[in-house]
Structure 1
Amino acid sequence: MSRTDTQEIVEFARKWQQFDGGPDEEIFVTFGLAPDEYFRRLQAILDDGAAALTPPVAGELASVCAHRLRRSTKRSGVDESAAA
């Protein structure tokens, strides 16, 4: 992922963090990605420390990622306990 891609993903995440990460349609239109892929990429950026964010902001974004990925898993009918 390029530095520009990383910046765009983080900027979008910051813009929508107070609104549960943003609408699925907006994520798809902006990045051409399914929401779960977008949140996996954002989580990887946060895990790598590739974005210059304060720990509280990074933690809030990580919480949004975790919530949206859990919600996506529940919607797809995947049993998380069976996947572990």
Structure 2
Amino acid sequence: MSASESFSAAKPSELVRFALAWAPFEDPVEEIFVTFGISSSVFYERVLEVLTAGGVQLDVGRSAALVQHCRDRLRRKVFDDGRARSVA
């Protein structure tokens, strides 16, 4: 199964449930890759897409908090990638 097939097999609710479960912890890069076959950046982009499209039912507070969490993870990833590139 390819990475794109792994993601396409994942239901939006599975993505959101996983993101909510791991939100209190550090970025679960390996778990995301093993579970969904995609990078953490792609995962958080997909979760944002699901949330902003209304693909799952969450109360407003939890949805807003998860949107912010995903945006924070993506910003942190861009910063880390930029720092890594400037050092190399």
Normalising by structure 1, we get a TM-score of: 0.81
Letter in 2 for 1:39: Y
Aligned CA RMSD, in angstroms, stands at 2.0
Partner secondary structure for residue 52 of structure 2: helix
1:5 deviates by 1.7
1:2 deviates by 6.2
Structure 1 counterpart of 2:25, from 9, 19, 22: 19
Corresponding position of 1:62: 67
Output the CA distance in 2 between the equivalents of 1:24 and 1:2. Answer: 19
Q: What pairs up with 1:35-46 in 2 under 5 angstroms?
A: 35-46=40-51
Identity over aligned residues, as a percent? 35
Normalising by structure 2, we get a TM-score of: 0.77
1:58 deviates by 0.3
1:3 deviates by 8.9
Q: Structure 1: 5+ residue runs without aligned partners?
A: 79-84
Runs of at least 4 residues of structure 1 off by over 6 A?
none
